Amino acid sequence: MARSEISARQRQALALIEAGHSYSQAAALMGVAKGTAQVHVRRARAKQRAGKRG
């Protein structure tokens, strides 16, 4: 997997947040801690920004 490729979990977390779920709701739906969901979204967005630059 390329370093800038967004993982399935990152895509899932990002999709839930973009659909209007809170981080707590997204985390519960994913079965992870709120902080984990936040990290997934943060890393996904960083990878998206990096892809636009490169």
Q: Tokens at residue 16, please?
A: 């839930």
What pLDDT was estimated at residue 11?
Answer: 97
What pLDDT was estimated at residue 54?
Answer: 61
What pLDDT was estimated at residue 52?
Answer: 77
Rg (CA), the chain: 11
Residue with tokens 């943060």: 42
What pLDDT was estimated at residue 1?
Answer: 46
Q: How far apart are CA 38 and CA 54, in angstroms?
A: 24
Q: How far apart are CA 37 and CA 22, in angstroms?
A: 10
pLDDT in tens for each of the 54 residues of the chain? 455 799 999 999 999 999 999 999 999 999 999 999 999 999 999 999 887 776
